[in-house]
Amino acid sequence: MAVAMITGASKGLGRALAAGLAREGWDLVLDARDASVLRESAREARVHGTRVVAVPGDVTDGWHRAALVAAARELGGLDLLVSNASALGAEPLVRLHGLPLEGLRAALETNVVAALGLVQEALPLLRASGGGTVIAVSSDAAAEAYETWGGYGASKAALDRLMAVLAVEEPDLRVWAVDPGDMATDLYRAAVPGDEEPRPAPETVVPGFLRLLADRPASGRYAAPALLGVEA
């Protein structure tokens, strides 16, 4: 059975991806900081009859990243790593002149440093998989300049660049940075409280990720809605 690891899996896109992959028969290792909410995600995924291991913790902690990879090894290996855990840097988002530098450091630590650290920890299992795949959940803020999204966008742009280089250095893997598009998530509500514009539920973009896994196109940057012919 193929094994996937998803960080930030307690809610939003991570939780929706966990359910979507479980429906496809994937065994799962799930990460999030909130143990009680993570248990609910794991329970929801187990409904589909696959093995699900919940490992609560913070991806910025090297010991936790090692525990995640150890859990995958116990399930038989690792075929897919989804780096979804993200930090905004400021909640709500603020213009660059007021962005706390500690917040920017925190966003870089979670969105970039921890994501690379987990790839480094997981590489032996991904290389042994025969079809090892890395998905980094990116953002349109990595490519477009939106007011107040500078710190978060910079961290996601850095993540995109790391994934592009990883794809060159590890040609036997598939490495995709995926922009999921606008979604109604707690992260967005924390970023822009008071924005009541309707947005798609995270579940609606999961088929785009599943299409990537089914078609296995070349490593690169993709937009989940575009994969399904939906305007982002």
Provide the 3-class DSSP secondary structure of residue 95.
Answer: coil
User: Quick one: angle between helices 114-129 and 150-169, nearest 10?
Assistant: 30
Report the alpha-carbon distance of residue 159 to residue 225 in Å, rounded. 20
d(CA 110, CA 118): 11
Residue identified by tokens 């995270």 is 202
User: In the structure, how many helices (H) and strands (E) does the chain have?
Assistant: 9, 7
Inter-CA distances, 13 with 20, 92, 128, Å: 10, 20, 27
CA distances from 70 to 74, 171, 186, 231 (A): 6, 24, 29, 39
Beta-sheet pairing, 3-6 with 220-223: unpaired
Residue pair 15/9 in contact (Cβ under 8 Å)? The answer is yes
Q: Which residue has the tokens 């993709």?
A: 222
Q: Which of 146, 152, 188, 222 is catalytic?
A: 152
Annotation marks residue 188 as catalytic: no
Q: Which long-range contacts (CB under 8 A, 24 or more apart) does 227-230 make?
A: 230/181
Residues identified as active-site: 152
